[in-house]
Structure 1
């Protein structure tokens, strides 16, 4: 690549990026097949010459990556992974090869930046970005082997971004393309944000503790990508919305809700101006309204998608429809409208590629909660036959959970469905999906009513049983102590969490204290013990903040927070394996971060001064990515 071609290629690269923006706009508007056809045609006509930067191949890979992220299916992940590899390989052909000596010197010190064309810089960015997106797809597998592969890919991608950042710093402001500057900002922000969300335990296992993970700096960098425009701006906006709207459902804590809502509203306003009538914006608006406990408004947003996006069955993107079908079914469950939710789970049970077994289980759950034990038992009985087996060497956590519940509690029989596990299986699902913080007070009261009724029936049955055994001399006190208390523990965990969300902290504490490993024998529902410890930690955090707000002099009294730390250690250190372990570890990590903020502690992998150094670097080099502290640390 001679430098005499630089000006011509610089223009062509920018024009290609602007055309690729049109494809992303089509995708964001829900015109999925048109978007894919657009980039496929550009690949055929514009990239026939091997000297052309593979921008459209990469854009096609990004579209398939988004598809895989929405559907969650292994087939879509594999397709996206192959296209990302192809884009990286094409881009690599434009990058001069390094000798072993220069490569070794570059690993231990910053590479010497020579005069590099915009074309080569774009190819380096495409290679780094494709590698990074491949790493994210590995995380979807939720296994240690996948995490290790993701760590290796992440390290490779960081090296690529580091070089691109050095190039941009060395160039004059006028020679930079906004598309390339935005790409490096997005890369730095995405890395910092993603790594900051991983629990320290996972970071240690992946040997990536050396990666800087300043979450605030990462979010700011992604925001700069959004504000600066260019090809990656809408991607940055979607990433910010995912963090503020989707992630709180899994790894955030209730105390951070208002901050997430305010940030999401600001990002939505920016994107709404640039991408009106966007499919993605309607989807995120529905999730945001749910986060605000506006379940009616949330449902209407997802209904708008159902009516507005008429995907035909022959569309390659028809499976994307399952995303809002799932949201509609969940919306009804959050409203405790079990019968109304049935049809959505039935559709997914028949058509889902991700997991027919799990949706059959949810269908059975809604039938059980609607008082149809016979139909529910039949549906639960289908779960085992619909299991997909292993995916990437593992069984889906959701399928493991569903099958275990059916087997352990005989939910495939009418008698099992009529038992306590069948009577509260719906509210247990809502609890495990961290839905209580998104439910209004009236629905939480409904949860308490369902659990208390089931618990009353359970106690009545036990009294009847104890009457039959009266007079038996063979039952020792030791045997009585070993009687499993899973059902009472489950009821108390659900009640305690719902009461905490209703602000009834004293009652919540009584219920949650029941579920302790030292005093409560749990046989099958192993998740109850660590989950209860986590919920007690959140309760203590709330008590601290309330006490500090009423009496400012007590803000530095950390006794409740120190107790909360102990509870989080119990949750994280629970020795037995249980369903959804990774989700709990993520929540523990978020809660520990909240405690550190309240206590004014610095996180082990974050330096408070980062923000200042980062801002200074941007002032020194106009338009350069504000990520010096990140790349210099490598």
Structure 2
């Protein structure tokens, strides 16, 4: 019992009531009542499995939005508490694994409470592994969390109606680099993206507490993961239809409006996205962190449309108020000042070179490890602050390529053509006044971007020429050694789009020959996400998650993951 308003209220509830409670709190969340959703579910989180799980999820979402180390630590603490709560309701027998018990006695031998506790426990482990990855993206930590999820989620195999956890975890595996996946395959893991997305779509269309979580997972995947990893083929139209359905139910939901704006961006409707994002800012003021997300996307809309002043203002707001990456925002501000008129630059009292130089000082460390993309822009900031011989739009182009900007623009061919003209003009300027130190690197960076734009314009032969040109200049590059493996990647995608799967695989395989270049991990993930194979029949064959690997282990061996 807890005291509330002078009254004693119970902190436990039956299963049906707890599911209804969780659904109600998720509805509050979608109606922009973020704090209410978290605070009202908290009293039940200590003694009921589904409230414990939802409380953990909402707390972790808040941590991700703030990116405050303290909030992330709170998210980890709450997730561990959720694991303890779920564990207290699981089957007490510790002589054999849950999966073996199910196989031996059948699902009917398990109490309903234990069944749901097992599912929630598995999904809380997935949540914990997600927070762990943000804190420390080491393979060891991923394996530790992943193996424990696998040991708990045999239950998914025995209960076909539960699809959210299986879909999310398998989707993560489908994006893991080959070397890491080989380690996971030792204990039977594998992932097939199309199967996993189908599971999540099915879950999103069903009436249960997981449908909202499945919807939000799909929105995040299609709007960010598939773009960042360069997954060319997707079914985002189905997810966009889901967003419209949910917007009818929750028309003022800032979360749903935000994803709707992002869908508009990916369709090339940047002015419409801009209006929606501006509306999102005015809808609510409780979580200012959501404003920061909107300012980031507004900055990109303005950059794509060449609205430099508006883009700078968005970057400045982000720099002043967001904790995510001040190094990135400083580089963005400096890059925008490079293309802005001198009178505007004077009016804001900012020095472009100082902003570029300060990028390195603003880098963050997560458990002592630097963030690769921040290291990349810090090196670029040093270069642009201390050398001449680069043209004004060059830093912006670097930023756009690093953040998949051309892929976001790819549906708007008019804008792609406009940016291709900017790249061509920049190439002419560099040819007229080449830098002795960076000249070859700069020209080949522009050749990579030319190939990228031409690919989106459907001019595959010309695009192939420019990608190959970069590869041929490999030995002449002095600094930007990432250009060659990234060109192999873009060339592989080009062949894939042409239907030449053998050539696609060959070029993607060439990436393995390169090490220790800028933003290497990002490219490894992108290459892994293609999931190509030379056997077309094998390529189309769905692979289901093999859950039968769960071997008999005494349960006390598994308790360590909760600490």
In which range does the TM-score fall when normalised by the shorter chain? 0.7 to 0.9
| Equivalence for 1:600 | 536
| 601 and 433 in structure 1: CA distance in 2 versus 1, 3 angstrom threshold | farther
Does residue 236 (structure 1) correspond to residue 208 (structure 2)? The answer is no
Runs of 5+ unmatched residues, structure 1: 1-8, 170-180, 312-316, 466-481, 545-559, 611-628
| 131 and 427 in structure 1: CA distance in 2 versus 1, 3 angstrom threshold | same
| Equivalence for 2:58 | 63
Of structures 1 and 2, the one scoring higher in RCO (CA 8 A, sep 6+) is 2
- The count of residues paired between Structure 1 and Structure 2 equals 532
| Equivalence for 1:554 | none
Does residue 571 (structure 1) correspond to residue 511 (structure 2)? The answer is yes
Equivalent residue in structure 1 for 2:352, among 376, 386, 393: 376
Partner SS for 1:515: helix
| Equivalence for 1:432 | 402
Shift of residue 364 of structure 1? 0.7
Partner SS for 1:516: helix
TM-score normalised over the length of structure 1 = 0.77
Partner SS for 2:130: helix
Shift of residue 323 of structure 1? 1.4
Does residue 137 (structure 1) correspond to residue 53 (structure 2)? The answer is no
Query: In 1, Cα distance between the equivalents of 2:549 and 2:527?
Result: 27
In 2, are the aligned partners of 1:67 and 1:76 still within 8 Å (CA)?
yes
Kindly report which structure 2 residues correspond to 1:6-405, keeping only aligned pairs within 5 A, or say none: 12-43=14-45, 52-99=47-94, 101-103=95-97, 106=100, 113=107, 115-141=109-135, 143=137, 145=138, 147-163=139-155, 165-166=157-158, 168=159, 181=161, 184-206=162-184, 210-254=188-232, 256=233, 259-311=234-286, 317-372=287-342, 375-388=351-364, 390-405=365-380
Query: In 2, Cα distance between the equivalents of 1:218 and 1:590?
Result: 13
Kindly report which structure 2 residues correspond to 1:447-526, keeping only aligned pairs within 5 A, or say none: 447-462=419-434, 485-516=440-471, 519-526=474-481
| Equivalence for 1:581 | 520
| 205 and 489 in structure 1: CA distance in 2 versus 1, 3 angstrom threshold | farther
CA deviation digits over 1:126-179, x for unaligned, max 9? 221111111122233573x2x32122212212222214654x48xxxxxxxxxx
Query: In 1, Cα distance between the equivalents of 2:136 and 2:536?
Result: 32
| Equivalence for 1:412 | 385
Partner SS for 2:188: coil
Does residue 541 (structure 1) correspond to residue 541 (structure 2)? The answer is no
| 303 and 355 in structure 1: CA distance in 2 versus 1, 3 angstrom threshold | same
Runs ≥4 in structure 1, deviation > 6 angstroms? none
| Equivalence for 1:476 | none
Rg larger in structure: 1
TM-score normalised over the length of structure 2 = 0.86
| 228 and 441 in structure 1: CA distance in 2 versus 1, 3 angstrom threshold | closer
Shift of residue 500 of structure 1? 1.5
In 2, are the aligned partners of 1:514 and 1:520 still within 8 Å (CA)?
no
Shift of residue 490 of structure 1? 0.8
Does residue 631 (structure 1) correspond to residue 547 (structure 2)? The answer is yes
Query: In 1, Cα distance between the equivalents of 2:33 and 2:187?
Result: 41
In 1, are the aligned partners of 2:296 and 2:314 still within 8 Å (CA)?
yes
Shift of residue 586 of structure 1? 2.5
Query: What is the root-mean-square deviation in Å for CA atoms of aligned residues?
Result: 3.0
Partner SS for 2:369: coil
Shift of residue 85 of structure 1? 0.4
Partner SS for 1:187: helix
Shift of residue 250 of structure 1? 0.8
